[in-house]
Chain A
């Protein structure tokens, strides 16, 4: 890349102006709402419900975060979520990666059938009730594995990875084969390293999916020590969300209103709590995108 910009042309300058303008607009438009959420999360709940806060907390308060962290099971929840995210992401990468790699092979017998089955599975679902019964029959209820196994294969990730594997230079594989390497060895010692960008991308997608997922904890886990943090935070929001309750429920819920926080500030605080770890992890994954460039230059 260093070779670019040997001499700057008029076009270069105009392009740069356009590019930096776009960057600034995007930067402001995305940073501000995030900043806004931080501000609201540090404001007193009832006061924030009056509106009109834009740049700085009006009545500074840590109560929202105290409410979030007051749950003693939260630490357990954090532990469960971290484990499921780490284990689950690796398991998904491996399982989906192998599946995608096999489908990327044009010589594969029954390939069309396999892909058809994959595509149909993408769009048809039997709904919640049969799925619940299935999970029960597989004895996955109240088991840590319910967070891992059902997410092993994802059709969308499969297709993204498959299309990447198909672009890989065939010569690499062929020369390794000449040297007597088995198919499995080729995958693990040649394909995986040069596919860092796509693995990093899918890891990010799968990791976020695991991190945010709460429905499985709600439906398939009753054991309180096995609940995930996303689930606990969702519960917290539900509890605070009295004003969204309607009808006769609201009459009863109203009796608790004075004793809880407003949903809005709690939502903001929980969002920040959930997002910060993801933001911290991302730069590490980003390194792999850069690494991919170097690998690319070697293969050329």
Chain B
């Protein structure tokens, strides 16, 4: 026991810093978590604060109601499919782009392109969805005009409503909007690469591809894995960009609803918009639990196979 105290005293500075953070979490994250209890209760808005405690206990009623919804499986399928597609496509692209930028020798070009590439990040999804409409709509959009006039398509394509196009549009617009922004993190890691290593490699006659493969990538491996684990943790939110909700909300419509409705939009429509906080909380809770399992699982696997982990 005295041994522990001595160790604790030795790391006093670290412990103080850590406990400040934990105190913050206890106040701002854990205290409001009491609200999760209403997932198992019949909470009514008008019962106010006491309602969190006094409202009637209903067990798993809301979970069962959600499971019995006629669209339950469809919503689960959409959520999982869109999330996996994004993980598969939008996660690697910022890494590739960071590598490409790093290979540009002209500083001015590198800087200009990088600065430009993150501009779309600042355009809100509502503006982006407006642009997508202007360019892709069936009746006045330029893309269809171009496709038809060049004979690439014999009639306009319903990009905005044909269910077949929703998933690709969601993934592509996500890449377009967030690629440059997430490159920032990987570039920050790449600048940590020791130039002396490159010089040595050049002397040894390594090609550029070899230098990327054997020097750059291993150095940023840690960052890649951490970002990957975080993306998996936020899988159902839409990975890095976290844009699943905005996309389904803004690009979803009654025509493509069968492929665009996801957990979050359903929660909004059937829960929050109706003032049904218990129902919304229950569905949110399912998502939280799965996210937590995912991040622990991916962290475990990553530690096991690459030795790198978040925690």
Interface residues of chain A, those whose CB is within 8 Å of chain B, are 1, 3-6, 9, 11-12, 15, 19, 22-23, 26-27, 29-31, 33-34, 36-37, 51-52, 54, 95-96, 98-99, 101-103, 105, 107-112, 114-127, 129-131, 133-134, 138, 150, 152-153, 156, 158-160, 163, 166-167, 182-184, 187, 197-198, 200-201, 204, 208, 264, 267-268, 271, 274-275, 278-279, 282-283, 286, 289-290, 292-293, 296-297, 299-300
Q: How far is the CA of A103 from the CA of B20 in the complex (A)?
A: 12
A116, A134, A163, A275, most chain B CB atoms within 10 A? A163
Q: How far is the CA of A121 from the CA of B119 in the complex (A)?
A: 31
What would 22 A/B residue contacts be, using CB atoms closer than 8 Å?
A1-B198, A3-B195, A12-B208, A26-B117, A27-B116, A37-B123, A101-B14, A102-B17, A108-B11, A119-B296, A130-B32, A130-B33, A158-B21, A163-B310, A204-B184, A267-B126, A278-B122, A282-B118, A286-B114, A293-B191, A296-B192, A297-B195
Q: How far is the CA of A103 from the CA of B35 in the complex (A)?
A: 28
Interface residues of chain B, those whose CB is within 8 Å of chain A, are 4, 7-8, 11-15, 17-18, 20-22, 24-25, 27-36, 49, 52, 97, 100, 103-105, 109, 111-120, 122-124, 126-128, 130-131, 134, 140, 142, 176, 179-180, 184-185, 187-189, 191-199, 202, 207-209, 222-223, 226, 230, 233, 277, 280-281, 284-285, 288, 291-292, 295-296, 310-311
How near does chain B come to A245, taking the closest CB pair, in angstroms? 15
Q: Provided the pairs A121-B29, A267-B127, A268-B127 are in contact, do residues A163 and B223 lie with their beta carbons within 8 angstroms?
A: yes
B187 pairs with A289, CB closer than 8 A: yes
Q: Which of A9, A102, A131, A167 contacts B14 (CB 8 A)?
A: A102
Q: How far is the CA of A279 from the CA of B119 in the complex (A)?
A: 8
**Interfacial chain A residues near B291, Cβ < 8 Å:** 123
**Interfacial chain A residues near B112, Cβ < 8 Å:** 27
Q: Provided the pairs A54-B142, A163-B226, A200-B188 are in contact, do residues A134 and B119 lie with their beta carbons within 8 angstroms?
A: no
Which 8 pairs across A and B sit closest by C-beta, in order of nearness?
A: A126-B35, A99-B21, A130-B35, A126-B32, A183-B13, A121-B29, A102-B17, A130-B32
B288 pairs with A123, CB closer than 8 A: yes
**Count, A-B residue pairs, CB within 8 A:** 253
B28, B188, B230, B233, most chain A CB atoms within 10 A? B188
User: Residue on A with the closest CB to B197?
Assistant: A300
Q: Provided the pairs A3-B199, A289-B187, A292-B188 are in contact, do residues A99 and B122 lie with their beta carbons within 8 angstroms?
A: no
B124 pairs with A271, CB closer than 8 A: yes
How near does chain A come to B1, taking the closest CB pair, in angstroms? 13
**Interfacial chain B residues near A114, Cβ < 8 Å:** 18, 21-22
**Interfacial chain A residues near B111, Cβ < 8 Å:** 283, 286
B8 pairs with A119, CB closer than 8 A: no
Q: How far is the CA of A22 from the CA of B100 in the complex (A)?
A: 8
**Interfacial chain B residues near A11, Cβ < 8 Å:** 207-209
Q: How far is the CA of A300 from the CA of B52 in the complex (A)?
A: 58
Q: How far is the CA of A138 from the CA of B18 in the complex (A)?
A: 22
Q: How far is the CA of A158 from the CA of B24 in the complex (A)?
A: 13
How near does chain A come to B247, taking the closest CB pair, in angstroms? 16
Q: Which of A118, A159, A271 contacts B230 (CB 8 A)?
A: A159
Q: Which of B103, B188, B223, B285 contacts A289 (CB 8 A)?
A: B188
Q: Which of A3, A184, A201 contacts B13 (CB 8 A)?
A: A184
Q: Provided the pairs A102-B18, A293-B195 are in contact, do residues A127 and B52 lie with their beta carbons within 8 angstroms?
A: no
B123 pairs with A130, CB closer than 8 A: no
